Structure 1
Amino acid sequence: MDSSRLHAALDAIYTCCTPAGSLEESLKAIDMSPSDTALVSRLAAWVLNVAPLGPLPMSPDEAIALAERVHKNMGAR
């Protein structure tokens, strides 16, 4: 299911976080580009407030690519 794939992408991104309190606070602690920060915020808002209903904030492929970029960026530190 597409909504499950988006949720899994956010979970993958969240694994990069150091615990900083709430999900939003933890996600803010990740060093990301401004565009990826906006995408992660949109994805998190959808997962927390809308999922599994549509419309999806992005395609599953876009969400997976976003998670891969975050992981790659964290590995480059």
Structure 2
Amino acid sequence: MQYDDLIRDARNETLMASTRLHAAFDAIYLCCQPAATLDETLETLDVNRADTALVIDLRNWVQNVAPMGPLPMPPSEAVALAERVHKANGARG
């Protein structure tokens, strides 16, 4: 999948909130390729500390809790976060 497909799914209000959050995280993860780790890539992007912390919280939820609740953030916030990371990734080049 590509970023546009994933962000479209993250915005899709007919999907479950957990599915939307997972899609937003996957969109973020695509922005961080091909680094060895998500943490390393976030350091190279112009992403502020608050957003970095939110990405890490989202990653931990995806890896350890999903699809169960509680959700780390509402889907709309996850979409906004993915868009900020995507924008920072574009500024990197």
Q: TM class, shorter-chain normalised?
A: 0.7 to 0.9
Question: Hey, what's the Cα distance between the residues in 2 that align with 1:29 and 1:37?
Answer: 10
1:28 counterpart (40, 43, 58) = 40
Deviation at 1:20, TM superposition (A): 3.2
1:43 counterpart (55, 58, 67) = 58
Deviation at 1:27, TM superposition (A): 4.0
Deviation at 1:29, TM superposition (A): 1.1
Answer whether contact 2:27 2:82 (CA < 8 A) is retained: yes
Answer whether contact 2:21 2:78 (CA < 8 A) is retained: yes
Partner AA of 2:18 in structure 1: S
TM-score (norm. length: structure 2): 0.74
Structure 1's consecutive aligned runs of 4 or more residues displaced over 3 angstroms after TM superposition are: none
Question: Hey, what's the Cα distance between the residues in 1 that align with 2:40 and 2:77?
Answer: 20
Q: RCO higher in 1 or 2 (8 Å CA, sep ≥ 6)?
A: 1
Between structure 1 and structure 2, the one with the greater Rg is 2
Who is 1:7 aligned against?
22
Answer whether contact 1:13 1:71 (CA < 8 A) is retained: yes
Identical counterparts, % of pairs: 62
TM-score (norm. length: structure 1): 0.88
RMSD over equivalenced CA pairs, Å = 1.2
Deviation at 1:2, TM superposition (A): 0.2
